[in-house]
Chains A and B, each alone.
Chain A
Amino acid sequence: GESVGLHLPTLSVQEGDNSIINCAYSNSASDYFIWYKQESGKGPQFIIDIRSNMDKRQGQRVTVLLNKTVKHLSLQIAATQPGDSAVYFCAENSYEAGGTSYGKLTFGQGTILTVHP
């Protein structure tokens, strides 16, 4: 079904550590995935995306890994900083040639990341 946000997983790390946030997606037809960061009082902010024909993509301090076999996505943040503290969401999109799901994102429940100085 759609996103369920009953109990958000939490991850607490020390400043400078690497963080790994995991996400399981449900739709095997999804072919585009995005990680968003949401700080308190703000809308989700784009971090990094990956298409299903890739299994890894790197950005600045962030890496996304995609395992289609087990429908799993992860976000790795290197040298985590206090400013990285936020809720992190994965989102999936099913792109169908000529289809109508272009603008629809299905979000995971989110993970609360807390970085301690």
Chain B
Amino acid sequence: KAGVTQTPRYLIKTRGQQVTLSCSPISGHRSVSWYQQTPGQGLQFLFEYFSETQRNKGNFPGRFSGRQFSNSRSEMNVSTLELGDSALYLCASSLGQAREAFFGQGTRLTVV
């Protein structure tokens, strides 16, 4: 069965711009979580959506937002990009709990 799909794989944006990343979970999975991975901070939880509702949120500024659609696909948006937003953004899907969350390959965002 298909895994978690993230698009695009790579992005280059300019400071001040905004960006939207997409995540298609494994079929049947209703939970989608987003993580930011950087060399300095490691893997940090951004937020989690379950059945179109944000169920949990990490300690990130309001420039980071997300949503989930009725088909469980999720998008995250970062507005007013900063250089420090350069990172690998990972999406994980699960049936509903963190148990055996499956990760996508990530979107590598570079802000210049």
Contacts and interface: CB of A to CB of B under 8 A. Distances in A.
Interface in B54-81: 55-56, 58-59
Given A43-B4, A103-B94, A32 B106 contact: no
B105 A41 contact: yes
Interface of A: 2-6, 32, 34, 36, 41-46, 49, 89, 91, 93, 95, 100-110
A49 B59 contact: no
A101 B43 CA distance: 17
State which size class the interface on B falls in: 20 to 34
**Consensus secondary structure, chain B interface:** strand
Given A6-B40, A103-B50, A103-B94, 20 more contacts: A2-B41, A2-B42, A2-B44, A2-B45, A3-B44, A4-B42, A5-B38, A32-B99, A34-B98, A43-B104, A44-B103, A93-B99, A95-B98, A100-B55, A102-B50, A102-B96, A103-B97, A104-B33, A104-B45, A105-B45
A99 B87 CA distance: 30
Chain A CB within 10 Å, residue with most, of B32, B59, B96, B101? B101
A108 B44 CA distance: 10
Contacts of B55: 100, 102-103
A87 B42 CA distance: 11
